[in-house]
Structure 1
Amino acid sequence: MTITINQSPAADRLLRLPEVLKKVPVGRASWWKGIKDGRYPAAIKLGPRTSAWRASDIDKLIASL
């Protein structure tokens, strides 16, 4: 039995901060403050010093702006 999920490959992609900031034109400090304040989506921790965001979360953010 095979289960398929109907999501585009782009929605599953993880974006690192430079890619996110190209899509959402704010500075690094403003981005991190926005996460702390709840305006921007939380990061997914990939390691102790590595964070990423789901492309679908960033697309939803852009659509809401």
Structure 2
Amino acid sequence: MGEEIDKGATETRRVTRLIRLPEVQHRVGLGRSTIYRWMSEGKFPKPVQLGGYAVAWGEEDIIAWVESQLKR
């Protein structure tokens, strides 16, 4: 009747919030052009395609990038 739960499963499900460009810019302190240039140079995380021209970044990816910049 109900859904069975696999109690032996050890894999954790990663849930991340997707954030759009204005919030990314606010968090990292960079402009749109710099973000896209650094993405093409491999210096900044790439976004996920949401559909059409809409993109968003994983919040965890942005947090990890900011932390990596602080360690430099």
| Gap regions ≥5 residues in structure 1 | none
Identity fraction in percent: 31
Q: Deviations over 1:46-65 (max 9, x none)?
A: 01110000000000000000
Q: Deviations over 1:6-59 (max 9, x none)?
A: 65x6xx100000000000011110000010100000110001110000000000
After TM superposition, what 4+ stretches of structure 1 lie above 4 angstroms from structure 2?
Answer: none
Structure with larger RCO (C-alpha < 8 A, sep 6+) = 1
2:65 match: 61
What is the rounded CA distance, in whole Å, between the counterparts of 2:43 and 2:37 in structure 1?
9
TM-score (norm 1): 0.84
TM-score (norm 2): 0.77
Q: CA RMSD in A?
A: 1.7
| Gap regions ≥5 residues in structure 2 | none
Greater fraction helix: 1
How many residue pairs get matched? 62
